[in-house]
Structure 1
Amino acid sequence: MTFAGFPDEGLVFYEGLEADNSRTYWTAHKSEYEAFVRGPLQALVDDLAPEFGPAKVFRPYRDVRFSHDKTPYKTHQGAVVNPEGRGAGAWYVQISADGLAVSGGCWRLESDQVARYRRAVADAVQGAALEKEVARLRSAGWTVDGDRLVRVPAGFSADDDRIELLKHRSLHVTRRWEPADWLHAAAAGERVREAWRDVAPLNTWLAANVGATAKEPRPRR
C-alpha cells in the first residue's frame, strides 16, 4: 500500500472517539480506524523506512492500570522510529482530529544518559553545537520541550552558560499542523519526510553525545 494521505474519515473517527471513548463506539467503528487511520499511517512509515528505518506503530489502547483516567482508547495514532544502536534520538509522527504532529529527539533518559547529556552541554564545542541547533529549530517553527528541572542541577551554577539546556532531563522538538486539504493527499508524506530531515541533526547530536543506557531494562509491572 502506497501512502496517499490521511483520509478525512480518519479525523472524523477521532472526533467521534473523543465524544464517546467507549468499547461500544470502538467496536462499531473499528473498521474505519483500520482503513482510515492505521492503514494510512502504516503506509506512510513504510514509505519512510528506507531513509529513516522501520517504525513501531503504537497500539490504540491506553494503559489505564495506574491512571485516574480510565478511558480505554487513545484519541490519536502515533508511530516512532528509534534506530537500533543509537540509544537517543528518535523520530515520531502522530495523526488525530487536531491534525498532524511530528517530533524528534528523546522523551525519556536514564540517569547515566542524563549525566552524559549534561557533560556534553557543558562542553565548549558540543554545547555550542546543541545550542545553535536548538535555536535553529525554534526559529524554523519547532516547539522545544522535554522534562526539565525547576532548579539548577547539582554540580552546576545558575551562571553557567546554557543553563536552560542543562536543566533538561530529556529534549524533544515538535511541529503541528491543523487539518487542511494537503493532509488528505500524498503531500502529507513529503511534509513528514522534510520535517524528519530537519530534525535529523538534533538526533545525530543526541546519538553521538548521549547514546544508549548501560542500565538493565526496567521490569514490566
Structure 2
Amino acid sequence: MTFDGFPEAALDFYDDLEIDNSKVFWEANKEVYKTAVAAPMTALTDQLADEFGTAKIFRPYRDVRFSKDKTPYKTHQGAFVAAAPATGYYVELRAPGFRAGGGFYHAEPDRLAALRTAMDHPRRGAELEEILASLTATGWEIGGDRLKTAPRGWDKDHPRIELLRYKSLTAMRDYGFDEVIHTPALVDRVRSDWRSLAPLIDWVTEHGRS
C-alpha cells in the first residue's frame, strides 16, 4: 500500500475520542480508525521498512487492569521499530498532530548500569554528549525519565551527572499540524528524521549490552 498522507479525518477521530472515550463511540467509528489511522500508519512504516526494519503498530486498546484511568482506548496511534531491547525509532499520531522520535524507553538494571558505565567513560560519554548537542541544535527535544538525585554509587558532582540521571532517553520532533503530514512527502521527512537519530540509537545499542 502506498502512503498518501494522514487524512484530516484521523485528527478529527482523536479529537472526538478524547471527548467520548467509550465503546459506543468506538464501535460507531471503528471504520474511520481503520481507514484514516491504522491503514495510513501501516503504509507509512512499510515504506520505511527497507532501511529501518518492520514496525510494530500498537494496539488501540488500553490495558486498564492496574490503572486508575479506566478509559478503554488510547488517544494516539504509535508505531515502533526496534533496534535493541526497548530501543528504536518511533512515530505517533494524536489529536495535536504527528511526531517522530527515538531512543530507549526502558532499561533493566543491568542494562542501565552498562549505559551509565559508558556515560562515565571519558570518550564514550563525550560521544553521547556530542550526539545530544547536535540533535538539540537541529530542533530535537531531548527527554526521558530522570532521577531527581545522583544514581546510587555516583558522585553528584560527576561532570556528566545530567546524563547519568537518565533512566530512559529519547529525542522527539513534533510536527503538529504541518501540512506535510497529509501528504506522501511525510515518508521522506520521517526517513530523514530517523537517519538523524541513528547515532543515538547506535550508541545506546552498542553500549547497552550488559
Question: Does the pair score TM above 0.5?
Answer: yes
Contact preservation (8 Å) 1:88, 1:210: no
The letter of the residue matching 1:192 is V
Q: Root-mean-square deviation (CA), in Å?
A: 1.1
Return the alpha-carbon distance in structure 1 between the equivalents of residues 111 and 86 of structure 2: 9
Q: Deviations over 1:75-114 (max 9, x none)?
A: 110000003xx33530010011111111111001000011
Structure 1 counterpart of 2:159, from 152, 158, 161: 161
Q: Report the 3-state secondary structure (helix = DSSP H, G, I; strand = E; otherwise coil) of the residue aligned with 2:2.
A: coil
Matches within 5 A, 1:64-103: 64-83=64-83, 86-87=84-85, 89-103=87-101
Q: Report the 3-state secondary structure (helix = DSSP H, G, I; strand = E; otherwise coil) of the residue aligned with 2:59.
A: coil
Q: Report the 3-state secondary structure (helix = DSSP H, G, I; strand = E; otherwise coil) of the residue aligned with 1:109.
A: coil
Give the TM-score normalised by the residue count of structure 2: 0.97
**1:119 and 2:117 aligned:** yes
Matches within 5 A, 1:69-218: 69-83=69-83, 86-87=84-85, 89-211=87-209
The letter of the residue matching 2:196 is D
Return the alpha-carbon distance in structure 2 between the equivalents of residues 47 and 114 of structure 1: 32
Return the alpha-carbon distance in structure 2 between the equivalents of residues 182 and 87 of structure 1: 31
The letter of the residue matching 1:93 is V
Give the TM-score normalised by the residue count of structure 1: 0.92
Residue identity over aligned pairs, in percent, reads 47
Return the alpha-carbon distance in structure 1 between the equivalents of residues 87 and 69 of structure 2: 30
Shift of 1:55: 0.5
- The count of corresponding residues between Structure 1 and Structure 2 is 210
Shift of 1:181: 2.1
Shift of 1:177: 1.2
Return the alpha-carbon distance in structure 2 between the equivalents of residues 59 and 88 of structure 1: 17
Return the alpha-carbon distance in structure 2 between the equivalents of residues 47 and 156 of structure 1: 44
1:29 corresponds to: 29
Unpaired stretches in structure 1, ≥5 consecutive residues = 214-221
Q: Report the 3-state secondary structure (helix = DSSP H, G, I; strand = E; otherwise coil) of the residue aligned with 2:102.
A: strand
2:50 corresponds to: 50
Unpaired stretches in structure 2, ≥5 consecutive residues = none
